[in-house]
Amino acid sequence: MGVIIGVAALVAVLSLGDAMQAFVRSEIDRVTDVQSVTIEPRTFRLIDGSWEPVRNPLVLTLADLSSLKRETPSAQAAVMSRGGSARVSWPGSGKQRKATIAAVTEDIAITDRRPLADGRSFTPREALANAPVVVLSWRLAEELADGRPATSLIGQEVRVGPLPRVVIGVFAARQGERGYSARIPYAGAAATLGNSAVAGAPSIALKARSVDAVATLTSEIEDWLALRFQRWEDRIEIIVAEAELAEIARAFLIMKLFLGLLAGISMLVGGIGIMNIMLASVTERTREIGIRKAIGANVRDIRVQFLTEAVAISAVGSGLGVVLGLSIAALAVGVMHLMVDAEGLQVVISPWTLVMSATLAVIIGLVFGTYPARRASHLSPIDAIRHE
């Protein structure tokens, strides 16, 4: 029972810990941009304490984007974007608003997982062909709809700058949303934004495969820039959320230390249980030990016998504890789903957890069974046989 409870606690804690880490990582990926590394051409330079515009700033191209995708294996996606502003109007209501326009390439759905209230984002083919489509922010759609539901604009033709575009999606409302925004295919940037784009300079944002891969991705980008542009540090700025990444790494480290402490306590409880069981077994079987030594068993034979029993108890308890621990973890996740909206939280059965549990079972049996086995092997045969 001591081993079962100890291993069950260990497996439950580790499984829930893995589930929580996976959930937290997915939420970080979904609602933040800490996994993004942005490359922006420098348009201003600090000279003698004042910012001066850069002459002939570097202009990134779609060829650069394709090259970056090939040379940065740590990136799951890369997006080129160009920002600006334009008037957006809907003839159905006569309303118009000045909005921030983002012209982006097709991987935007991977790097920016902003949810849609209804509709869809544009496809890769639409992005490359400059299809006349647009995705509106909730507030902009609500203003243009003028009393109608914001999603009623889907399928309607609005004018973005000088060109008409069909609304194919509306972003979900965000708390504290200010201003108006819209998203169009990158190929339509020049015709829609004209000279209103900020400095006329496109930027490239790459998304790392995980939070831990951001540093590797940054190094790959620096290597790419060094091979492609001379003195790139003066011409290009790499933007990384360093402070946020440091805080996330610190939080994950604290979580791992906490889970390790809980696991250690759980296994200590199981180990002490084994030692007590084996000590009681030595006391109860003192006569048996004396008889075995009297008929020829040596110290090693007795020690191996009790160590084998300790390991066997640990192994059986470990197997039952794993099943019980996974059941507890599944029950705990089910309760969390009932109490909070956490669809991404799932039980994680890590092979590492199962292997570690089996290994620890053997180690616990050997460590905590050594003292009882040693005590049994050093009993005097005469005193052991006379024991009542």
b/e string for 319-346 if b means 16 or more Cβ within 10 A?
bbbbebbbebbbebbeebeeeeeeeebe
At residue 196, the pLDDT reads 46
DSSP state of 196: G
- Calpha distance 234→241 (Å, rounded): 20
pLDDT in single tens digits along all 388 residues of the chain: 767 777 777 778 777 777 777 777 777 766 667 788 888 888 777 676 676 777 777 788 888 888 988 999 988 889 998 888 889 999 888 888 999 888 888 888 787 778 889 998 888 888 877 889 999 999 999 999 988 898 999 999 999 988 899 999 999 988 777 889 999 998 888 888 765 444 457 889 898 888 778 889 999 999 998 888 888 887 888 888 777 777 777 877 787 788 778 777 766 776 676 667 767 766 777 777 778 778 887 888 888 887 787 778 778 887 888 888 888 888 888 877 777 766 667 777 777 777 777 777 677 767 776 777 677 777 677 766 665 5
DSSP per-residue codes, 110-137: HH--PPEEEE-PPPHHHHHHT-SEEEE-
- Calpha distance 333→180 (Å, rounded): 39
Enumerate residues 6+ apart whose C-beta is below 8 A from 348.
15, 18, 19, 22
At residue 344, the pLDDT reads 63
Q: So where are the chain's domains?
A: 2-23+247-385, 33-240
Enumerate residues 6+ apart whose C-beta is below 8 A from 133.
122, 126, 165, 166, 167, 168, 184, 185
At residue 197, the pLDDT reads 42
| Residues 117 and 151: beta-carbon distance below 8 Å | yes
Map residue 366 onto helix, strand or coil: helix
Distances (CA, A) of 203 to 51, 136, 180, 244, 252: 20, 21, 21, 21, 31
| Residues 154 and 171: beta-carbon distance below 8 Å | no
The terminus-to-terminus CA distance of the chain in angstroms comes to: 28
